[in-house]
């Protein structure tokens, strides 16, 4: 069962060559020595209050505009949430959102790649979630727009996320009476919010039945402790695969790829990078894969590292 590509790789290259122009390639079509930096957001680039500091914003903007810094992000967040935080940061390399489900042009919002879940599989996932008395947020897309569908808001954890989306003026929000009606769209992922004990059986059943076809993240909400999130995506929707695709299309060599992260879902991208840089607040499991450990996300450590690396490169 293969993931759905909204634009196949060949079309990505053909249709967006003028926009992204394979900036890492030289005139002979060979990889150059330029570095590509890719960072996670929450707990890494962002502060604990989920904001980008003025120091980081100013320096990143200057580096991108004046030094042609090759920089982008790989995050579990969706584009509306990313834009709400980063605002007019002049990102000129495709961003990776929804943990690799989307590769997207930050400026236009156009998806270059979409990794979706096959229709029959999505239907079964929804059935199992409903059977165990939970209610998901469903990320979906069609040819013209993205949607974030939801049905009944059954707990405070779901309401907290909804409040955030309303605050961010997330145009994707779409409440439906019957959540099953969303299956006519291309389903990109499910986010189920509940207490850990309520989500555990859903996670175990789905992993046992479809572990080779799906990718899961099951963890406590870092901003609202006590509530757990179970996110479900295609097995092809990973930060690592998305980064490797962007790197290849843009013409950057693996030996010049530096990634930053703080959580276990960043492990795969650390495995493919030349430099895997963990913040001091990162999970111990991730630090085992790191080539370097820097200060915490509260200290602008990612941007300070890039500044130092650029000055000494």
What are the pLDDT digits (tens) for 90-126?
Answer: 999 999 999 999 999 999 999 999 999 999 999 999 9
Q: Where are the domains of the chain?
A: 4-115+238-312, 117-234
What are the pLDDT digits (tens) for 135-166?
Answer: 999 999 987 899 999 999 999 999 999 999 99
> Is the pLDDT confidence value at 88 over 90?
yes
The pLDDT value given to residue 34 = 87
Q: What is the pTM of this model?
A: 0.88
> If you average pLDDT over residues 46-75, what whole number do you get?
97
C-alpha triplet 110, 113, 114: angle, nearest 5°: 100
Residue 172 CA to residue 149 CA, distance in Å, equals 8
Tokens for 90, please give them.
């002049």
Band of the pLDDT at 133, cuts 50, 70, 90? very high
Element housing 230 (H / E) = strand 228-234
Band of the pLDDT at 313, cuts 50, 70, 90? low
> If you average pLDDT over residues 265-290, what whole number do you get?
97
- Sole residue written with tokens 């996320």: 161
The pLDDT value given to residue 21 = 46
CATH topology of domain 117-234: 3.30.1240
- H/E/C letters for each residue in 243-301? HHHHHHHHCECHHHEEEEECCHHHHHHHHHCCEEEECCCCCHHHHCCCCEECCCHHHCH
CATH number for 4-115+238-312: choose from 2.30.31.70, 3.40.50.1000, 3.30.70.20, 3.20.20.70. 3.40.50.1000
Q: How many CA atoms lie within 13 A of 237 on its CB side?
A: 32
The pLDDT value given to residue 143 = 78
The pLDDT value given to residue 7 = 42
What integer best gives the mean pLDDT of the chain? 91
Band of the pLDDT at 32, cuts 50, 70, 90? low
Q: Cα dist. 191→8, 72, 120, 178, 310 in Å?
A: 26, 24, 18, 17, 38
- DSSP secondary structure code for residue 117 in this structure: B
What is the largest distance, in Å, between two alpha-carbon atoms of the chain?
A: 58
Q: Cα dist. 107→19, 88, 110 in Å?
A: 11, 9, 8
């Amino acid at each position: 069962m293969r993931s759905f590509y909204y634009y196949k790789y060949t079309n990505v290259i053909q249709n967006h060559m003028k926009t992204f122009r394979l900036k890492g390639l030289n005139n002979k079509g060979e990889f150059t020595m330029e570095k590509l930096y890719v960072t996670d957001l929450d707990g890494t680039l962002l502060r604990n209050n989920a904001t980008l500091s003025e120091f980081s914003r100013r320096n990143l903007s200057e580096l991108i505009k004046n030094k042609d810094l090759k920089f982008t992000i790989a995050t579990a967040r969706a584009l509306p949430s990313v834009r709400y935080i980063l605002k007019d940061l002049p990102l000129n390399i495709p961003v990776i959102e929804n943990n690799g489900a989307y590769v997207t042009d930050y400026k236009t919002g156009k998806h270059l790649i979409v990794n979706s879940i096959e229709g029959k599989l999505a239907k079964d996932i929804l059935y199992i979630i409903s059977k165990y008395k939970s209610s998901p947020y469903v990320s979906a897309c069609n040819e013209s727009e993205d949607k974030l569908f939801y049905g009944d808001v059954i707990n405070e954890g779901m309401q907290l996320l909804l409040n955030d989306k309303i605050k961010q003026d997330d145009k994707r929000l779409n409440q439906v009476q019957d959540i099953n009606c969303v299956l006519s769209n291309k389903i990109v992922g499910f986010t189920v919010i509940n207490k850990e004990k309520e989500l555990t059986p859903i996670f175990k059943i789905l992993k046992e039945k479809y572990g080779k076809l799906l990718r899961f993240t099951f963890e406590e909400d870092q901003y609202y402790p006590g509530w757990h999130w179970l996110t479900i995506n295609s097995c092809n929707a990973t930060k690592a695969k998305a980064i490797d695709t962007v790197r290849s299309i843009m013409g950057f060599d693996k030996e010049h790829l530096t990634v930053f992260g703080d959580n276990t879902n960043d492990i795969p991208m650390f495995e493919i990078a030349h430099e895997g840089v963990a913040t001091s607040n990162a999970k111990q499991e991730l630090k085992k894969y790191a080539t370097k450990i820097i200060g915490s996300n509260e200290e602008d450590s990612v941007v300070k590292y890039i500044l130092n690396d650029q000055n000494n490169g």
